[in-house]
Structure 1
Amino acid sequence: MAALRRCVPRWSRTQLLGPTKTADPNGRLNTFYQQRCAFRREAKRPETKKGSVPQEGELAKAGEAPVKAQAPPVGPPPPPKAPRPSLFKPLLFTIGFTGCSFGVSAIWQYESLKSRVNTARKEPEKPIDGSQDMAHWHKWWNQLSDFQKQLILLMSTADDFWSSLTEGQRTATGNIASTSISFERQSNCALWGVVTACPFSLNFSGIIAMNAVVLCCWRIPSMQRSMLKYFTSNPAARTRCLPMVLSSFSHYSIIHMVANMYVLWTFSSSIVSLLGREQFLAFYLSAGVISNMVSYTCKTATLRLHPSLGASGAVMAVLAAVCAKVPEAKLGLILLPMVTLTAGNALKFLLTMDTAGLVMGWRLFDHAAHLGGALFGIWYIVYGHKLIWRKREPLVKLWHNVRSQGGKPGGGPGSL
């Protein structure tokens, strides 16, 4: 009995806590573990802070339906839209610069003509004594060293080459104002430590010379930031007006500069013979600014705000002006000299290619600047010359009156 009493509590605890088997309606046995207590404890709900989102696992433990979170977008986030830059200041600069260019050119032409007339009046006719002159030069030549003689011969050859160029080629190349070599008996100047007698004055104001200088500046590392700021045109940049002029003289690639300057050299004689040197320079500078303004407009409309540089817009204006004035002229291709076509057909082909490039979004060239320069060249040779240059007389008269009043101390009319 004592042994039985000890086994009964042990058996009862085993039955209460151990596994039991129950039969389901299908006749199969199901084994499960009973809970230690008769009542089920309530699951604790996770405490969430204000503003925080409960996780999916926490909601499942609390017995609530999980809320599906939105998946983040696949790929990098889209770049923010750039605001369209204002073109009011560049437009005012274009109008003002074009007007000032033609106004200064008209005054420059007046001063050049006046200087030539005064020089022709003041030059006295000197009698020429050939025997004394030849004896003087022969004696002077024998006093020079071999290096001085070679240097003088080289300069004389350069002067002969320059004299053989047309006025348009001189204007495009370097516009050497006076390449005079004067030899005097008592005037000596040191050149590289050698005593010579050769004052040599050059005026490097030519277009090709300026483009070559800017190309060299691009190769200087310390000037890269300034070159990007002032010698590339971009409507989204902070400095937008001055680069419209300077970028017309800026090339980063040597091939790009050589191609543009070759076309300018080819058509410079024709355009200068049509317009004259002063009017041509005003036309060229205005074409560069106007072509950049057209480029600004297209870039702002399409939001393709990337920088550009080069003289292609101004060169296209020169080419288009000559082709529109002389459409029957024969032109040859650089790479295929045996193929010739008329100037009118060449202009139509270039306009078609630039229009297609602008519509289809080609980025190899700034096609908007090409079109702007070409259209300006055609407009100026057909209408602009009559509307602008032939109406310069009031400005020239005003300048003449100002110069005349300033020539006399009393302020009365007179001439300098």
Structure 2
Amino acid sequence: MFCRNVWSAVELTKSCKPVLLNQGRISFGHARIQFRHSFQKAKRSVRRAALEPDPLEHLRIESGPLNAKGLVRPFFFAVGVSAASLVGCVIWEYENLRAHSTILKRPGNWLSAQQKKLMTHFKSEPGPIKKWWNSLRESEKVFYPILAANVLVFGAWRVRSLQPIMVKYFCSNPSGSAICSPMLLSTFSHYSALHLAANMYVLYSFMPAAIASLGKEQFVAMYLSAGVISSFSSFLYKVVFNQPGLSLGASGAIMSVLSYVCVQYPDTRLSIIFLPMYTFAAGTAIKAIMSVDLAGVLLGWKFFDHAAHLGGALFGIAWCHWGGTHIWANRDKFLQYYHALRRSDTGR
């Protein structure tokens, strides 16, 4: 609705301009007539826009009573996904280290050197996609798969026949029949192109610093965990304040990345993209952002899911202080168990 109003104002301005420029003289009466005609036309277009149906109005939104018992399954789902993310990323890190150590420990002799030269001679040049992938930074190799998943889901929203599925499984809804899986899937879901572009821009901006501090494996574990935990924070807020509704977007998970970087590097100078001349400390920025989200939670603002933002930000701060030192750092026992299990399966 807001965009259509702005477009009507632009049309109105363009229709008035020829009256004043092309006549060779100023004709006030004719200008008033043209202006009145354009204004009435603009009002009619706004009225038509108000009467036009919402593109998602044809969909049935599931609703039902909200109660504290409905939080049990989402809570255990958030814990389970977080634990599975940690375990999976620890194994991923182990396999990466093992692959590199195997290459370094591979014995070199004259025969293997000659074989390597022969294979290099006949080996075809890598394609443009592989060259592009090899040229990326470590943070970009994590960012682009996340971007691709979000763009794919964004494209699915444009297919009308898929929209009932998207509303059910890619929107977090505490009143829906599918409660748990949307808590994760909704963090990759954006209906608005502006929402998608803004979230991906912020993520791309703060990812290099986060991955430089955490490593790509720990970063992915934190990001996925923050996604479901921010969704659970939204559920908790909606149940406590009895405010049902749909939520989607990666903002909660991205807020964890933002808060982690701002707390880890509080003296870093940040700026707004449209006002680069004004800079402020990262530590001050995260305090201001969280204050706005806290006000949104207390005052019941509904433009953003402030509860999800606040939950993601708090999780990022908690991970900065305790996650890396008390959780990720104590993965040795599990790695010993996994190493022994792997050796028993492979026999080496």
Q: Indicate yes or no: 2:224 matched with 1:285.
A: yes
Specify the code of the residue in structure 1 equivalent to 2:138.
E
Structure 2 residue 88 is matched with structure 1 residue 88: no
Q: Which residue number corresponds to residue 106 of structure 1? A: 90
Q: 1:164 to 1:405 in 2, by over 3 A?
A: closer
1:244-271 superposed Cα distances (whole Å, 9 cap, x missing partner): 1000000000110010001111111111
Q: Deviations over 1:11-47 (max 9, x none)?
A: xxxxxxxxxxxxxxxxxxxxxxxxxxxxxxxxxxxxx
Post-superposition, which runs of at least 4 consecutive aligned residues in structure 1 deviate over 4 A?
Answer: 126-129, 158-164
What is the number of residues matched between the two proteins?
A: 280
Which of the numbers 190, 199, 219 marks the counterpart of 2:158? 219
Give the Cα separation in 1 of the matches to 2:301 and 2:152: 30
The CA deviation string for residues 156-213 of structure 1, in whole angstroms up to 9 with x for no partner, is 4x6665444321122111xxxxxxxxxxxxxxxxxxxxxxxxxxxxxxxx10110000
Identity of aligned residues (%): 40
CA–CA separation in structure 1 for the residues paired with 2:273 and 2:156: 28
Q: CA RMSD in A?
A: 2.5
CA distance in structure 2 between the partners assigned to 1:125 and 1:102 by the alignment:
40
Q: Deviations over 1:204-248 (max 9, x none)?
A: xx1011000000000111111111111000111111110010000
Cα distance in structure 2, aligned partners of 1:249 and 1:81: 25
Mark the structure with the bigger radius of gyration: 1
Q: Structure 1 residue 362 and structure 2 residue 346: aligned? A: no
Structure 1, gaps ≥5 residues long: 1-79, 142-151, 174-205, 409-414
Alignment TM-score, normalising by the size of structure 2: 0.75
Secondary structure in 2 aligned to 1:388?
A: helix
Shift in Å, 1:99? 1.0
- 1:125 to 1:263, Cα distance in 2 relative to 1, 3 A: farther
Q: Which has the higher contact order (CA 8 A, sep 6+)?
A: 2
1:296 to 2:245 alignment:
no
Equivalents in 1 of 2:165, 2:225: separation in Å?
Answer: 23
Question: Which of these residues, 264, 269, 283, is aligned with residue 344 of structure 1?
Answer: 283
Structure 1 Cα separation of the partners of residues 276 and 251 of structure 2: 22
Tell me if 1:115 matches 2:108: no
Report the CA distance shift for 1:329/1:358 in structure 2 as closer, same or farther (over 3 A): same
* Separation of aligned partners in 2, 1:372 and 1:306: 17
Question: What residue is the counterpart of 1:37 in the other structure?
Answer: none
Task: Identify, as 1 or 2, the structure richer in helix.
Answer: 2
Alpha-carbon contact 2:65-2:175 (below 8 Å) kept = no
Which aligned pairs between 1:20-169 and structure 2 lie closer than 5 A? 82-84=65-67, 86-122=70-106, 124-126=112-114, 156=128, 162-169=133-140
Distance 2:262 2:147 in 1: 22
Q: Distance in 2 between matches of 1:232 and 1:332?
A: 32
Unaligned runs of at least 5 residues, structure 2: 1-62
Summarize the Cα distance change of 1:259–1:279 in structure 2 as closer, same or farther, 3 Å threshold: same
